Structure 1
Amino acid sequence: MAGRIVVGVDGSEPSLKALRWAAGQAALTGDELQAVVGWEYPASWAAAPGMPPEFNPELLAEQFLEESLTKALAPDVAAGVTRTVVAGNPAQALVDQARGASLLVVGDRGHAGFKAAVLGSVSTRVTQHAPCPVVVVRGE
């Protein structure tokens, strides 16, 4: 019985590597592949003067996800990927989307120590809170 592999995409090279790894794993297991991008307004944008009225961050996130799939995967593989754009904290979006999944895959940006404490780490958060096994694809 096929399951579902959820992969977090943020456009970074580690996330594209995670996307390629997840697609390879899905091909081996027969699982569906779901690519997820979570986005949220930075606090400073909420009242930014001069923001054009046609500015649509969700549409930009959808375009961003499409570009990432095109860059990382062959067209026939990308065509079979379920695309999910979630307004909200990226780590929480991945944890929520991973409910019922057989696997959650994320890339590791490599932040450690103080930088990780200040910036936060999606990979750290999802490994602590995911409802399914997690694979963190590391860089070089």
Structure 2
Amino acid sequence: MRREAAGMAEAGRIVVGVDGSVPSLKALRWAVRQAGLSGDTVEAVMSWEYPAAGWASMVPSMPTDFDPEKLAAQILDDALEQTLGEDGAAAITRTVRIGNAAQALMDRAGGASLLVVGDRGYSGFEATMLGSVGLHVTQHAPCPVVVVRGEAGTD
């Protein structure tokens, strides 16, 4: 039931973590379907951070035009278009943040109606364990959280 039909308050915002992994793309599809039911908008969030100290010594030389934020934005755009198609992707708000993924999601979830993340994507016994980002947001998010689980080939 749409919020307008039920006489409820204005539509809200669903925040979804997208890193290009299969579990995050499943979470994105789930969030878009939920938004279709609730009338909410969808905001896809991708976070990036530099690897721990010492990584630069492993790379012979960084190109002078290397822009990790631009690269992250392109990865997010590609993931949205490949998953939702061009028209579906156009309806999604995009946010790229530097820093820890769990913190970026927590920051964006303030005022949101829902936060959606994928699980770790492991199989077998490890499937019972939640990834560190999912674990953190389920314990500390300022709004309800959905962790999308399941086999890689199913929705």
Q: Same fold (TM over 0.5)?
A: yes
**Paired residues for 1:1-140 under 5 Å:** 1-43=10-52, 44-46=54-56, 48-110=59-121, 121-140=132-151
Q: How many residues align?
A: 136
TM-score normalized with structure 1 length: 0.90
State the 1:3 CA deviation: 0.1
Unaligned runs of 5+ in 1: none
Q: Per the alignment, in what secondary structure is the counterpart of residue 111 of structure 2?
A: coil
TM-score normalized with structure 2 length: 0.81
Q: Which amino acid aligns with 1:81?
A: I
Unaligned runs of 5+ in 2: 1-9
Cα distance change, pair 46–99 in 1 and its aligned pair in 2 (3 A): farther
Q: CA-atom RMSD, angstroms?
A: 1.8
Identity of aligned residues (%): 66
Return the index of the structure with the highest Cα Rg: 2
For 1:63 and 1:90, the matched residues in 2 are separated by: 17
Q: Which amino acid aligns with 1:92?
A: Q
State the 1:75 CA deviation: 2.3
Q: Which has the higher contact order (CA 8 A, sep 6+)?
A: 1
